[in-house]
Every structure is written in structure tokens, then in C-alpha cells.
Structure 1
Amino acid sequence: MAQTLEGRKVAILAADGVERVELEEPRGALLGAGADTELLSLHGGDIQARQMDLDAAGTFSVDKLVSDASVDDYDALLMPGGTMNPDQLRTSADAVAFVKAFAEADKPMATICHGPWTMAEADVLRGRRITSYPSIRTDLRNAGADVVDEEVVVDGKLISSRSPADLPAFCATVVDRFAL
């Protein structure tokens, strides 16, 4: 039976350099399941998307600044990757505080590729089982995570995947777990 996310609001936290497909496909799956999504970022207007980190891939309109967002307004959090996106987010006190507050509220969070970098900065990975893009696994281990190489990892309310190749399984798991 298909999961429904009717009445659920999902925050998507992203900045310039977000990997387009890692925002677009999960957001489409969430919308298709009936969720409302809101794109949060560090600045207003549009954020620049990338394809394979190298090529410009259009823009996404920002709905709200993360500095103006409250965890209480959302049921779940999605953090796409790309190298530049989370590298910017993890240097933003507002973004790091938002992620930390989300973890402390014990709400569902999903991340893919380099997305967990912001979670490492928020110090919310200690003792958690997670996967990511191979190049940041040492950073995640140093942040106290149990890092594995699997398509999708679910640790309580934390969902993670490695790369765009995992998007079909990631999207299905995100919809399923965000519906709980």
C-alpha cells in the first residue's frame, strides 16, 4: 500500500551548489505522496544547482531563510548533497542550529551524498549508523558515526544514502519512513 504524507510538511535545507537531482527527485517523491515541502536556505531568491558538482544545472526558488525557520513548523527534514551545498551549510550557525534542533526534537531526517557534513558539524551523529559519499566517511567517523557502505541506511528516524545512484531506494525509503 502506498504511503501518504497528506498534512505533513517537510523542510528541505539546501544552499548554492546543491546537486540538482538529489533535491529534485526526493522532493518529487514527497510531493507525489502528498507532502508539502519548503526550501530553506542561507539567502533569499534562488539557489544555484549543479550537476555532478561541475556543471550549472538551473536554480531553485527559496521559500524561507533557515534563520527564520522553526523546527516546530515541520514534520521532517531532507538534506540533499553536492559538495558545495553542505560545505556552505556547515559554516552557517543558523543552518547548524536548525539541524541540531531537528535532531533534538527526534523528528525524521534524511540525507544523501555529502549532506551529512552539516549533521557532523551539528554534532548529532555520535553513535548513529549512517552512509554517505565515500569522500566524507572519515569526517563522519571522526564525528562519532558508525559509517557503512550500503544503498540506504535507516537508524531510527535517520535515513541516509550514498549518491544519486541510490535515489530510487532513497526516495522510496524517505516516503515510507516520513509517513510513520
Structure 2
Amino acid sequence: MARVLIPLAQGCEELEAVTVIDLLRRAGIEVVTAGLKDGAVTCSRGVVLVPDTLLEQVLDDDFDMLVLPGGLPGADYLNEDPRIIRLLQQMAQKQKYTAAICAAPKVLASAGLLHGRKATSYPGVLDALQLPDTRYQGDPVVVDGQVITSRGPGTAMDFALELIEKLVGRESRESVESGLVRA
């Protein structure tokens, strides 16, 4: 079974976090949510999430993918946490998937994972970093090798479905998507 780690920081975007958690679990993927600190996480719009565990307790666990929800100040807290940067770099070295949405692609940039890649983010987030060797795209979801990025809350469902496809295949993606009655 595929395993995915989703770190939850205070001020994360709840729509992105919950959509990814929900859809991946619908696909039979084991999702572990981990708080940066002990206790519940209050998201950017006041929704309170209770992580499965503390990040510290899963640092040495094996995951197939690391997904970073965006939102502010959540993405800033992820970006300032050396454990997250180290985990991203370790995942990249093992050629495992790293994914980020909204403001969180800047964390991938800080970890050095966007060099020479195509990526997207919430409008202006990556532009502000002035990354000359990152090719910014305006697409809802951008996949470049093992790095997957997305734009924001409105693209969270497309993002989660792409993650499902990468982890467990097109058939699982289609099965989950058909149950969502998107059209």
C-alpha cells in the first residue's frame, strides 16, 4: 500500500489539506498527517484539524510521497522548519514524489527541488522568489518528474486526483473521480 505523509502547520489551507487527505484515502492510500508541534492545528479559515501524529515521530518512517498543503502562514511555517527541508531532500534523493500546492511550492524551492523544473503555485508566490532556472506554468497541476505542484484551493481536487494516479494508477484515479460526480 502506498504511504503519504502530509505535514500540517498552523495556518495551513484547510480546503487543500482536507481534499488531499480525503481523496487519497478514498483511493486506499495510507495517509499520515503529522503536526509540526503537539496539539490541534487551526487552519487559515479557522477549521481545526487533529493530526494523526507529531512530525518528530515519523521522521524515520518510509513514505512514497510527501505532500505540502499551502495557505498562509502555514506554508511559511513549513518553509522555516529544517525537518521539512531535510525530508524533502531525502525524498528527492530516493526518487520519491514530493508535491506542494498554493504557497507551498516555495518550500520545494527552498529545498532545491525546483532547479531546472517546471512548476506552478498560487499566483505570485514563485515569481517573488525570482527563480531563473524554474519554468513557471499557469496550469492547474504541473508534473515534472517526481515533483508535482498545483495552484490553490480551486485546483485541490485536480491535484489530489493527479497524486492518486501517480501513486496507484489511472484506474484508481478514475474510480475515485467517478464517485465524486464532478460533471
Range class of TM-score, shorter chain: 0.7 to 0.9
In the other structure, the counterpart of 1:81 is: 70
SS of the residue 2:28 aligns to:
coil
- Opposite residue 63 of structure 2, the aligned amino acid is Y
How high is the TM-score relative to the length of structure 1? 0.86
Q: How far apart, CA to CA, are the structure 2 residues paired with 1:95 and 1:143?
A: 24
Structure having the higher strand fraction is 1
Measured against aligned partners, the alpha-carbon deviations of 1:144-175 in whole angstroms (never above 9, x if no partner) come to 32111111111112111111111232121111
Q: How far apart, CA to CA, are the structure 1 residues paired with 2:167 and 2:99?
A: 9
Distance 1:143 1:26, change over 3 A: farther
SS of the residue 1:134 aligns to:
coil
In the other structure, the counterpart of 2:96 is: 107
SS of the residue 1:73 aligns to:
coil
2:21 pairs, out of 16, 19, 27, with: 27
SS of the residue 2:10 aligns to:
coil
- Opposite residue 103 of structure 2, the aligned amino acid is H
How high is the TM-score relative to the length of structure 2? 0.85
Distance 1:99 1:139, change over 3 A: farther
Measured against aligned partners, the alpha-carbon deviations of 1:27-83 in whole angstroms (never above 9, x if no partner) come to 1110000011111232022111123xxxx1x21122333334336521111111002
Report the Cα offset of residue 96 of structure 1. 1.3
In the other structure, the counterpart of 2:114 is: 125
Q: How far apart, CA to CA, are the structure 2 residues paired with 1:20 and 1:67?
A: 22
Distance 1:89 1:168, change over 3 A: closer
* Runs (5+) with no aligned partner, structure 2: 170-183
SS of the residue 1:176 aligns to:
helix
Distance 1:143 1:120, change over 3 A: farther
In the other structure, the counterpart of 2:40 is: 46
Over the aligned positions, Cα root-mean-square deviation in angstroms equals 1.7
Matches within 5 A, 1:87-166: 87-142=76-131, 144-166=133-155
Q: How far apart, CA to CA, are the structure 2 residues paired with 1:143 and 1:32?
A: 38
- Opposite residue 88 of structure 2, the aligned amino acid is V
Report the Cα offset of residue 135 of structure 1. 2.1
Paired residues in the alignment total 169
SS of the residue 2:115 aligns to:
coil
- Opposite residue 155 of structure 1, the aligned amino acid is D
In the other structure, the counterpart of 1:3 is: none
Report the Cα offset of residue 141 of structure 1. 4.3
SS of the residue 1:50 aligns to:
coil
Conservation of the 8 A alpha-carbon contact between 2:6 and 2:67 = yes
